[in-house]
């Protein structure tokens, strides 16, 4: 593909000084002839296979350690009822948000952090980055909590599990090709579906599950502080700021263009469906703990869920659950650390691509390495409240989401950069509704925090 053809396919952002091709652009261009040839042959499934990746990864990556613990806690605390349809609703919200991200990425060919700085200026740029870095570091800590918890179930010392996790996360950065990195992570992310056979081994009541979906099932115990916390934790398990930053940068690094928007949407929808299935399966797998009246508030980590489930769903089911927790932590650690790398490098106008070698991407790779090592070190602090930390991270993610969504909506409506890919009436209605809903739930949580006796425990 010629340089002129590339410039037409990846135009410079209005007002941007970055107009020259880089080595990363050349590497991306190597993948485009196959895409163009497949599109010309009208082989839709092969085209989707070539272009899929960012959407599936961001959705399954968000099915991370704290998310699976949130779903498990919901199932063990409330059983099959309210939270099954609620989880499906949150993934619909996630699709709406990430679909805007797809269009923003292909329209501008810029990462989210870079775009915020260019369109809103340094104040909002640093505000968004502070939001992201704070949330990402906390979340990365909990991913190693999940890896540690899964290892504990198999009798591995905490330090060994964390060291192995760190080695795998850092090893994933050695591919030096975005496409190779993406395909390797997709293979690992498929193991998120281990929660499905674990749920089947719990022998769920199909009638009760269908009734929950049809009637938005009963809520045992009523509207309490515990319920509100789990609502926020489940929202934070599916809609978080890092997802926006990661998917937009991944779309740019993969080289998707305006012609690829339909496949980008489908990729995101497939990811949402797969992640929703795994999330509901996690809740269903832990529902026997609710029936057995097990008090999960006394659990110290995710490993306790697998141990408590063993006499209820068998050794095989508990083993699958523990392996799923490990996978959730690993994939999320790889994607979240990369999200931080993309965003911080974009902020200081440094080169940012998984197509870079280490010599040319010291800052990009250095951020991922440093954040991974710091998070792992925090996890190994003796006596840290790991389960409470895991649940709290998702609550914090929800509280940080409203400003991130507002900036996303403003960018998606900026016709100067979006052109005909800008949000329409229904996109703005859906996005605005999500912002309002998250803000209301967050405000309610703030009130309950200030006035703890307002609701029952």
User: Would you give per-residue pLDDT tens digits along the chain (457 residues)?
Assistant: 444 444 444 444 444 444 456 666 666 667 778 888 888 888 889 999 999 999 999 999 989 888 898 899 999 998 888 899 999 999 999 999 999 999 999 999 898 988 999 899 988 888 888 888 888 888 898 899 889 888 988 989 989 999 999 999 999 998 888 889 999 999 999 999 999 999 999 998 888 888 888 888 677 666 777 888 888 888 888 888 899 999 999 999 998 999 999 999 999 999 999 999 999 999 999 999 998 888 887 776 667 888 999 999 999 999 999 999 999 999 999 999 999 999 988 888 888 888 888 888 899 999 999 999 999 998 888 776 666 666 677 777 777 788 888 999 999 999 999 999 999 899 899 989 998 888 888 777 777 766 666 665 6
Query: In this structure, is the dihedral angle defined by the CA atoms of residues 441, 443, 445 and 447, taken in order, positive or negative?
Result: negative
pLDDT of residue 381: 81
Candidates 105, 109, 129; CA nearest to 117 is: 129
Q: List domains and CATH numbers for the chain.
A: 64-450 (1.20.1740.10)
Whose CA is closest to 267, among 341, 193, 186, 335?
186
pLDDT score at 176: 80
Other C-beta atoms lying within 10 Å of the C-beta of residue 194: 23
pLDDT of residue 447: 74
Nearest to 116 by CA among 344, 382, 288: 344
- pLDDT value of position 438: 85
Residue 301's region, left for phi above 0, alpha for psi from -120 to 50, else beta, is beta
pLDDT at 234: 87
How far apart are alpha carbons 275 and 272 in whole angstroms?
5
CB contact at 8 A, 288 and 77: no
d(CA 168, CA 189): 14
Each residue of 13-30: b (16+ CB within 10 Å) or e?
beeeeeeeeeebbebbbe
- CA-nearest of 418, 103, 92 to 263 is 103
Instruction: Of 9, 6, 4, 22, give the one whose Cα is nearest residue 350.
Output: 22
Q: Would you give the DSSP letter of residue 11?
A: P
3-state secondary structure of 72: helix
C-alpha distances out from residue 314 to 86, 147, 161, 191, 311, Å = 28, 21, 24, 19, 5
Q: Cα–Cα distance between 332 and 168 in angstroms, integer?
A: 12
Classify the C-alpha dihedral 222-226-228-231 as positive or negative.
negative
The C-alpha angle with vertex 119 and arms to 235 and 404, in degrees rounded to 5, equals 10
- pTM: predicted TM-score of the whole model, two decimal places: 0.88
Reference 320, options 202, 204, 194; nearest CA is: 194
């Amino acid at each position: 593909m010629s340089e002129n053809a590339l410039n037409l396919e990846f135009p410079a952002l209005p007002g941007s000084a970055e107009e020259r091709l880089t080595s990363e652009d050349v590497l991306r261009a190597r993948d485009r002839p196959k895409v163009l040839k497949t599109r010309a042959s009208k082989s839709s499934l092969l085209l989707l296979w070539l272009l899929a990746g960012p959407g599936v990864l961001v959705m399954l990556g968000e099915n991370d350690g704290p998310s699976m613990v949130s779903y498990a806690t919901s199932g063990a605390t409330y059983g099959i009822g309210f939270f099954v349809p609620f989880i499906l609703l949150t993934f619909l919200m996630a699709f709406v948000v990430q679909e805007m991200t797809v269009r923003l990425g292909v329209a501008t060919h810029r990462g989210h952090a870079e775009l915020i700085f260019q369109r809103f200026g340094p104040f909002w740029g640093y505000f968004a980055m502070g939001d992201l870095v704070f949330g990402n570091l906390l979340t990365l800590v909990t991913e190693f909590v999940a890896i540690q918890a899964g290892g504990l179930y198999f009798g591995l010392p905490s330090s060994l599990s964390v060291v192995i996790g760190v080695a795998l996360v850092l090893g994933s950065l050695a591919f030096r090709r975005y496409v190779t990195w993406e395909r390797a992570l997709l293979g690992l992310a498929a193991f998120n579906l281990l929660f499905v056979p674990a749920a089947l081994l719990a022998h769920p009541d199909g009638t009760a599950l269908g009734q929950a979906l049809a009637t938005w099932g009963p809520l045992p115990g009523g509207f309490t502080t515990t319920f509100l916390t789990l609502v926020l934790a489940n929202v934070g398990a599916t809609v978080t700021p890092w997802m926006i930053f990661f998917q937009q940068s991944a779309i740019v690094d993969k080289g998707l263009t305006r012609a690829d928007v339909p496949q980008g949407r489908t990729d995101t929808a497939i990811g949402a469906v797969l992640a929703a299935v795994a999330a509901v399966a996690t809740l269903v797998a832990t529902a026997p703990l609710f029936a057995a009246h097990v008090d999960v508030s006394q659990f110290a980590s995710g490993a306790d869920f697998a141990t408590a489930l063993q006499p209820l769903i068998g050794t095989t089911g508990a083993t699958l659950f523990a392996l799923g927790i490990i996978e959730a932590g690993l994939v999320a650690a790889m994607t979240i650390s990369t999200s931080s790398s993309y965003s911080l490098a974009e902020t200081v106008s440094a080169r940012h691509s998984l197509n870079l070698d280490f010599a040319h991407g010291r800052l990009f790779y250095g951020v991922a390495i440093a954040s991974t090592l710091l998070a792992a070190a925090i996890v190994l602090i003796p006596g840290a409240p790991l389960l409470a930390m895991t649940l709290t991270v998702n609550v914090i993610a929800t509280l940080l989401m409203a400003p991130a969504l507002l900036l996303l909506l403003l960018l998606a409506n900026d016709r100067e950069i979006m052109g005909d890919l800008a949000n329409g009436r229904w996109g703005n209605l859906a996005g605005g509704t999500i912002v309002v809903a998250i803000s209301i739930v967050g405000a309610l949580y703030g009130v309950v925090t200030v006035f703890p006796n307002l609701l029952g425990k």
